[in-house]
Amino acid sequence: MKLNELSDNPGATQRKKRIGRGPGSGMGKTGGRGIKGQKSRSGVAIKGYEGGQMPLYQRLPKRGFNKPNRKAFSVVNLGLIQKFIDEGKIDIKADITEDALIASGLVRRKKDGIRVLAKGEFTSKATISVTGASQGAVDAVAKAGGSLTVKPSAVKTSAAAE
């Protein structure tokens, strides 16, 4: 076999259909677009339109309620905090605050606060101060000899003031 003998399988390639090149082509004049109307014009696409059939986004069930003012927390596991302490990226002598977690690179951004979860082993005697924490995380830090304090959120304090 030589390079000049290589060829594609029969029917593997088709010639490009040349639209709008006269009546002899079978695709002349209107070019397969029908007559008049929005779809016959160039640069127009009807997004999500399914030809009168009920669109997919309307056929799917709508469930529940999406709270417009819900809080979004950055989530951190205790195992990751322990790993960063072991690597020396977080100073255990000082209080571990949300700013310290961001500075160490463990958390990218604070969002509405940082919430600590209990996944992983935690053995350091550390003082952690964050916006939220699971009960398991509070117990795990206390068991290791440290303390995990949760700052009161702005929502609770404003509700108490009223």
pLDDT, position 158: 44
Share of the chain above pLDDT 90, in %: 64
Cβ contact 114:129 at 8 Å = no
pLDDT, greater one: 154 or 88: 88
Interatomic CA distance for residues 39 and 53, integer angstroms: 17
| Tens digits of residue pLDDT in 7-22 | 999 999 999 999 999 9
pLDDT value at 152 more than 80: no
Question: Which residues have C-beta within 8 Å of that of residue 140, sequence separation ≥ 6?
Answer: 78, 118, 122
The two tokens of residue 97 are 């605050």
**Residue whose C-alpha is closest to residue 130's, from 121, 122, 141, 120:** 141
Torsion over CA: 76, 81, 87, 93 (sign)? positive
Cβ contact 141:135 at 8 Å = no
Q: Which domains are seen in the chain, by residue range?
A: 74-152 (3.100.10.10)
pLDDT, position 133: 93
Cβ contact 121:85 at 8 Å = no
The pLDDT of 118-135, averaged and rounded, is: 92
Cβ contact 128:116 at 8 Å = yes
Q: Which residue has the tokens 């997919």?
A: 56
pLDDT, position 59: 93
pLDDT value at 30 more than 60: yes
Where residue 153 falls among pLDDT bands split at 50, 70, 90?
Answer: low
The pLDDT of 152-160, averaged and rounded, is: 53
Where residue 44 falls among pLDDT bands split at 50, 70, 90?
Answer: confident
pLDDT, position 43: 82
Rg (CA), the chain: 32
C-beta neighbour count of 161 within 10 angstroms: 6
pLDDT value at 107 more than 70: yes
Residue 10's region, left for phi above 0, alpha for psi from -120 to 50, else beta, is: beta
pLDDT, position 73: 93
